[in-house]
Every structure is written in structure tokens, then in C-alpha cells.
Amino acid sequence: MKRQTVYGVVLTLFIASFSTLEFGVKPVQASAGTVLQIDPTTSIADFGESFTVNIGIQSITDLFSYDVKLTFDQLVLEATSVEEGPFLKDGTISPSGTNFVETIVNSEGYVRVMGNIVGVYPGVDGTGTLFNVTFSVRPSGGANAGLSELIIAYSNLLDATSTGILHSAKDGFFSTVHTCIRIEPASVVDPTLSPGKTFTVDVLVSDVLFLYSWQVNITFNPSVLKIVDTIEGDFLKGQPEGTVGVGLIEN
């Protein structure tokens, strides 16, 4: 298990007020407009287990039909089922409801799903789930064991006039890795630590993949401790691109 220090915190025994520690690197800005997205963005399950992702639409107007192809690593995952979501099915005013067709091709690592409103009726506005896909994690995935991108490889959204709807797509990711963040040492028992003395704890992360930014809030008994300094660890700082970190102390 790989462990890395992302931050060190120096505290002193002192009567102090509430304190938080925050850190960020290039916060991600949400995309404007209509978005087709996989939710959750990151899925975690062990070998032999199953998990489900939703393919949802955000901020759409007049959606009448959709055609979506989702790809995955067939050596790592097996798609076992596809179910229609409530967005189009429950949102339409058509008395005949919707058509829903799903195709699973595990040998090539993709699922293709098509849905449309039956009859001549307006499309549906808003945000919701188009469909969901359940995957089973294969026991062995070769060189990519335990890792797979979930990619919206193709998507076509049409309104009630059969006009294409502009949209962006947000892909997902699957991993068997369980990331852990913790403070070490977990406890500090030292009779020599009298008021005014300092001690240091590290904020560690283990088994993390593709870490780009992070934020940690630390709380404690303000009548006993206060933070006097924060020091960036070597995990992100050691990257060639460098980092921009901010440690906020509000004693």
C-alpha cells in the first residue's frame, strides 16, 4: 500500500478558537449548458461484485429521443443489465409512453441504448436519468486489472422537430482501489506536552489514483489546541508541473 504525505500540521497546546485547514489546486469549473453525464463519476467495487451507473441529462430542453453508446474495458467489466430511467418515460405526456432499446456487446466492450417518445408530442425539459447500466467486475483483468474508463463514445440527442441538441459529455471511471485519507499518528499521548509546546501530525493518502486537487478540514478542541503552521507534503509537490497550495489558519 503506497502512502504519501499531502500535508503536515503543527499544533500547539493553547487556548484558541475554531480552526480549519483548506487546500486546493485549480478548482474545476462546472460546464454550462446541456450535459450528458455518468453518475457517479467514479465507481468502486471489488472483484466479483456488481455496481450500477446512471447516464443522466442535465439542463435540457425538448428532449424527444436519444442514442448513446457507452464503452468500457471488456477485460475488466461485464455489462449485465440496462434499465430505462424515469426522465423520458415519466416526463412525457404521450399516452403510449416511450420506446426503449438496449444492446449489450460485452465481447467488444460497449452498450448502446436508444430511447424515444412514441407519437407526435413535445419533448421533455429538465434534468434526470435516461437509463442505468449494471456491471459485474471480472475476477481477472490482465494488465488493467481493476481499472476501466467508462466513456460516452457516441451520443445523439434530438428534439421534437428531429433537430440535434448541442451538449457536452462527462465520462466516468471504475476502480477496485479504495482510497484512504487519514491523520498520523492517530493519537498523541505525551506527558511532556505542556501548554506552549508543539507537535506535528501528517495528513496521509493511500491508494489514490489521478489525484489533481484536494481539500481537508481539520477540527479539534479549541480550548486545548491551535494550529500554528501548515507544511505541504511531497505527494503533489513532487510533480514536474508543481502545485499551488493554500493553507488557511483561522485561530
Q: For the domain that residue 160 is a member of, what is the CATH number? A: 2.60.40.680
246 domain residue, yes or no: no
Last residue of a domain, one of 166, 193, 222: 166
| First-to-final CA distance of the chain | 35
Query: Could you tell me if 151 and 224 lie in one domain?
Result: no
Neighbours of 162 (CB within 10 A): 8
Give the pLDDT confidence of 145-204 residue by residue, as tens digits: 678 999 999 999 999 999 999 999 999 999 886 667 788 888 887 888 888 888 888 888
Full residue range of the structural domain in which residue 214 is found? 3-28+178-237
Query: Could you tell me if 22 and 85 lie in one domain?
Result: no
Report the number of distinct structural domains present in the chain.
2
Q: What's the mean pLDDT in 80-108? A: 98
247 domain residue, yes or no: no
One-letter amino acid of 212: Y
Nearest to 194 by CA among 4, 12, 8: 12
% pLDDT > 90, the chain: 50
Give the pLDDT confidence of 63-89 residue by residue, as tens digits: 999 999 999 999 999 999 999 999 999
| Residue 226 clears pLDDT 50, i.e. is over it | yes
Confidence of residue 29 (pLDDT cuts 50, 70, 90): very low
Does this model's pTM top 0.75? My answer is: no
| Residue 224 clears pLDDT 70, i.e. is over it | yes
